[in-house]
Amino acid sequence: MQTIAILSTKKDPLLGHLIKKIYKIKNLNFIIIFAKISLQNSNKNLKIFKDRTGDYFKTKKEISAIDIKKFNFKSHNSVRFKKFILKNKIKYLFNSSTPGKIEKKILDAVKGVINIHPGILPKYRGCTNVEWALNNEDPIGITAHLMNEKYDSGPIIKRKIIKFKKKNINEYKDIRILTYLEQIELAKSIFKLIVKNNIKLKKHKVKKNSFYPIIPNKILINVKKNIKNKSLIFNRKNLL
């Protein structure tokens, strides 16, 4: 039975929801690796998450009652953690919410570090890709890929266009909630591929000018307003 280590923090608002979806997958053993995160960064991340999703994920999914082992490390990049990986013969890590960039020594210690990126790679790398795609009238989607030393540049496992009915999108939060839910579902499907030893990777050439910065607040406000007043044009690939 393979073991997959989920990289997270104790303030990860989606961790419980993820675990509830995946922990019963047969022939996989999941463990959680917590790393420390500064209070300032934790509060900042939680504020961004609440701005995006409101109270939708407010009900805490308790994982304490689930038979899943949890370990604490100072960092997901620590030498101690690398030794733990090698000792326990862990082949895959999953990035749920790691505080920093995964370093080469950790990347090289496993078969792959899986990440679900909220954007279609290689076109949308970087930050707030959902918001940029909405602004650019491009398809909203997610990409499962293996992490490497560069941001959002590793081999692609699977891309997925998010589908929805236009009438069900009444505000910006509806899009972001749906994106997070689809990320969890895609993670589940990737884990099932691991069980079947059916992970197929596709290399992609990183495009110039494909790395997006955090979207300016002025543009984000306009996107939110256009969704609410039904004037935003969604890409046809997203519509059911």
Above 90 in pLDDT, residue 124? Answer: yes
Q: How far apart are CA 121 and CA 153, in angstroms?
A: 8
pLDDT of amino acid 60: 58
Tens digit of pLDDT for each residue in 54-72? 999 876 556 666 789 999 9
Tens digit of pLDDT for each residue in 155-182? 999 999 999 999 999 999 999 999 999 9
Domain ranges of the chain: 2-238
pLDDT of amino acid 67: 80
pTM of the model: 0.95
Euclidean distance between the first and the last CA atom of the chain, given in angstroms as a whole number: 39
pLDDT of amino acid 155: 96
CB 34 within 8 A of CB 73: yes
Q: How far apart are CA 173 and CA 160, in angstroms?
A: 20
The mean pLDDT of 149-153, rounded to a whole number, is: 91
pLDDT of amino acid 222: 97
pLDDT of amino acid 204: 81
Q: For the sheet containing 69-73, what is the strand order?
A: 69-73, 28-35, 2-8, 92-95, 112-117, 141-146, 156-161
3-state secondary structure of 166: helix
- 2-238 CATH fold: Rossmann fold (3.40.50)
pLDDT of amino acid 211: 92
pLDDT of amino acid 208: 74
The mean pLDDT of 214-235, rounded to a whole number, is: 97
pLDDT of amino acid 29: 95
Q: How far apart are CA 230 and CA 163, in angstroms?
A: 17
pLDDT of amino acid 206: 81
